[in-house]
């Protein structure tokens, strides 16, 4: 039985400005944690799967949690989507993942 994916969030919509504002708020709140550090990494299209893999497998270095944002994973090929879905199954509890999709 696989573990629940409670630390994975999906941001989507057609208002890119509102999506950016929501992400900015999350990053600000993330940095406001007691340690005051933002351990964050963003991945943009086209996705480099090796880099995404390393990012999702790294433990948090600067604080108790890592924030990883993956832009456009759902717009990639089926092969890349399947690879990302497989990676998400093994994300540590220290890593918070945001999947971002602009919807037309």
Phi, psi of 59 (to 5 degrees): -85, 155
Domains and CATH numbers, the chain: 8-102 (3.40.50.300)
Instruction: Name the percent of the chain lying above pLDDT 90.
Output: 47
In this prediction the pTM is 0.85
C-alpha to C-alpha distance for 85 and 81, rounded to whole angstroms: 6
HSE value, Cβ hemisphere, 13 Å, CA-based, for 49: 12
Give the pLDDT band (50/70/90) at residue 15.
Answer: very high
Joined tokens for residue 22? 């929501």
Per-residue pLDDT tens digits for 47-91 = 999 999 998 888 767 667 888 999 999 889 999 999 999 999 988
Q: Which of 4-13, 21-30, 35-44, 54-63 has the highest mean pLDDT?
A: 21-30
Between residues 3 and 43, the one the model is more confident about:
43
CB 96 within 8 A of CB 60: no
């Amino acid at each position: 039985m696989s573990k629940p994916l409670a630390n994975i969030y999906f941001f989507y919509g057609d208002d890119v400005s509102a999506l950016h504002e929501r992400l900015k708020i999350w990053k600000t709140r993330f940095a406001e944690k007691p340690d005051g550090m933002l351990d964050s990494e963003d991945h943009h299209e086209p996705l480099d799967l090796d880099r995404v893999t390393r990012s999702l497998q790294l433990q948090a270095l600067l604080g108790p949690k890592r924030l990883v944002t993956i832009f456009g994973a759902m717009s990639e090929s089926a092969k890349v989507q399947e690879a990302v879905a497989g990676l998400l199954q093994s994300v540590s509890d220290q890593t918070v993942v945001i999947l971002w999709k602009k919807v037309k």
